[in-house]
Amino acid sequence: MKTTQLVALALLMFCTLVGKARERSAAKEALPRHHLMPVPAAMQFQPGRLALDASFTIAVKGHSDDRLRAGIERAARRLERRTGLEFAQGLGGDPNGVTLVIQTQGPGKAVPSVDEDESYSLEASSKQVVLSAPTVVGVLRGLETFLQLVESDRQGYFIPIVSIQDQPRFPWRGLLIDACRHWQPVEVIKRNLDGMAAVKLNVLHWHLTEDQGFRVESKKYPKLHLMGSDGLYYTQDQVREVIAYARDRGIRVIPEFDMPGHVTSWLVGHPELASAPGPYQIERRWGIFDPAFDPTREEVYKLIDGFLGEMAALFPDAYLHIGGDENNGKQWSKNEKIQAFMKEKGIKDNHALQAYFNRRLSEIIKKHGKKMVGWDEVLHPDLPQDIVVQSWRGQASLAEGAKKGYTGILSNGYYLDHMLPTSRHYAVDPIAANSGLDEQQMARILGGEACMWAEYVSPENIDSRIWPRLAAIAERLWSPRTVTDVDDMYRRLAVVSVQLEELGLTHEKHPDLMLRRLAGSEEVGPLKTLVGVVEPVKFYKRGELHQITQMTPLTRLVDAARPDSAAGRQFAAMVDGLLSDAPRFRAYQDGLARVLSEWRDIRPSIDVMIDRSAILREAEPLAKDLSEIGAAGLEAISYLSSGLAPAAGWREAKLALLDQAAKPKAEVELVVIPALKQLVIAAAEMPQLNSTSPAEWRKRVKALAAEKQPPAR
């Protein structure tokens, strides 16, 4: 009897434990996959939810000011637009009875600063959300997280139960916008500031002078902007407006006035500053040009002193960027007076002469109460260590500067104009894993800045070149180093990209608008299919393929193409799924066949579009290539599904076809070629499956596809 009772008790305990384990497993499965970007420093989700309905209210405990109230108002209106709910206006009364309680201790810095405290915590229960931060800026960061937490199902909108403690990994997280090579109006700057705030970036680096344009009003030297801008410049009132707009969002604004090179637009109105006689005119092309300031003339430093003093009073940030990059020194080498000066002063070469110029410049900047920022070229033993070096050369150069005592920020790897996929930018960390830096040296690396150089962007397509890729760079600069899952990044990025449209960003809207203009019709389905599987050529290859000037309309196919093809990634994932299903080859087969058939049959529709819109004529060879590689892909799938090996010479012919299709046309390239090569090689290598494991066979297919194929005989 006792034994029977013990067995029953043990069975009951076992069933209880199994039941609890199942409950824990079910609860774990019920936890949401969040869409937060950047990922917070620490977070813990629990089962449950807080419903959001028309009774949503907000109350503030502790410090309150205009910036805080404005930030809360913006967040509430965005939530209204997203949910379609109408909330009570203003702030609630009793914090115990509201949906969202905001607690902050103080306003933060009067002028946004690199040492601003941006930390916050967010505690969401089934009854209330409490957002706490030491400063208003921390609250602004937390409000963006709150908005990203909002979910929806058939029951309505809700916030999952979660505890978040968050702070940035790096204090300097920026975006450079070049308004010189192509003019960007104030509304472009503002909407991108809104996007930056949404993903917790905190520095707008405003590139304001360049060979192609002088873009800021100078009341002291009006010939600078009146003669060097084509009338396209920011008035000082507009500059103040942008600075105030950025401050309201916890963002610093750092101006860049590039010198001693990249100064052609300065010299149009002041040729006396140049190292060679004028006259000068605004440059319309791109590249590195000869004009440079004459560093031996005191008149140069006098004008720079006056101008930078004026700008130091206009821009309140502690830092001022002087550029300092890509001075080729040709005018200096040809100027006998400059060469005599160098000999007299014992200046051995142009690099040392630029260091002399930068040393004089740093004294002027310090006189006006600012700290100097410059590109890699400013790194020189003769310069004080309180300058900030912005590195276009890379992590190694940045780390070397840190070892020498210089603070710095990374831009190499974050050049958005290189048209690289998001994953490439996401993989770059300001501090390389093998940097060899100690903790003190690591602290000198302040963060990074993405760069949107404007050779090939207009107000119409600039957003599609910045977003949504910038959100992934923002995550790299904010989130813990361990946040590196690329697939999960793309999953969250798709959600965040749609949310960014709430702010007026045009990265999703304008590419479709451009396609309709190209087609001269609302019927753009085939053209959208074609553009969906191409990307603009990478790095600076576009300029090698087609001569473009500042006056060239940026309205062609390449200008509408996106830099990171979602269709290309999806196709590659389906091919990977199909080949991973060896030897059955059933997974994703139907989906691949539909896509490849659409490509194969695309030419007649594109031809009809070309007949009514001559600007699309350059799409003809692309449509031909896509049709032919679609047919090749269908053949490969047919061989794989039937188990039959292709005839001799088939592999070589199809790989030659793919190599031809891979060549850029109309300054774009088909991004599906690598995945199609895998299909072709897999079909040709199928007999190997009989003598090896599917995993080894798959590995061999990938290796062969990555090899450069010999030309077909």
The catalytic site residues sit at 326
User: What does the alpha-carbon distance between residue 17 and residue 14 come to, in Å, rounded to a whole number?
Assistant: 5
- Unique residue bearing structure tokens 């140069």: 300
User: What does the alpha-carbon distance between residue 273 and residue 304 come to, in Å, rounded to a whole number?
Assistant: 10
User: What does the alpha-carbon distance between residue 479 and residue 494 come to, in Å, rounded to a whole number?
Assistant: 18
User: What does the alpha-carbon distance between residue 462 and residue 510 come to, in Å, rounded to a whole number?
Assistant: 10
- Report the alpha-carbon angle 182-188-194, nearest 5: 140
User: What does the alpha-carbon distance between residue 663 and residue 105 come to, in Å, rounded to a whole number?
Assistant: 59
User: What does the alpha-carbon distance between residue 694 and residue 681 come to, in Å, rounded to a whole number?
Assistant: 14
- Unique residue bearing structure tokens 């451009």: 514
Residue 478 · residue 170 · CB < 8 Å: yes
User: What does the alpha-carbon distance between residue 25 and residue 284 come to, in Å, rounded to a whole number?
Assistant: 64
DSSP designation for 272? G
Residue of 187, 152, 59 whose CA lies nearest to 462: 187
Residue of 91, 23, 9, 24 whose CA lies nearest to 56: 91
User: What does the alpha-carbon distance between residue 218 and residue 566 come to, in Å, rounded to a whole number?
Assistant: 45
Distance of CA 185 to the CA centre of its chain: 20
DSSP assignment of 644-678 equals: PPPPTTHHHHHHHHHHHHHS-BTTEEETTHHHHHH
Residues in a beta bridge with 407: 388
* Pairing between β-strand 213-214 and β-strand 203-210 as defined by DSSP bridges: antiparallel
Sequence-ordered list of residues with C-beta below 8 angstroms from that of 573, at least 6 positions apart, any chain:
none
- Phi/psi of residue 152, each to 5°? -150, 145
Locate 472 and state its tokens: 């992934």
Sequence-ordered list of residues with C-beta below 8 angstroms from that of 88, at least 6 positions apart, any chain:
56, 57
Distance of CA 77 to the CA centre of its chain: 26
Residue of 375, 554, 564 whose CA lies nearest to 466: 564
Residue of 93, 141, 148 whose CA lies nearest to 133: 141
Sequence-ordered list of residues with C-beta below 8 angstroms from that of 115, at least 6 positions apart, any chain:
109, 171
Q: Which helix (H) or strand (E) holds 80?
A: helix 66-83
- Residue 236, Cβ density class (10 Å: 0-12 exposed, 13-18 middle, ≥19 buried): middle
Sequence-ordered list of residues with C-beta below 8 angstroms from that of 553, at least 6 positions apart, any chain:
none
DSSP assignment of 374-422 equals: EEGGG--TTS-TTSEEEESS-HHHHHHHHHTT-EEEE-TT-BGGG---H
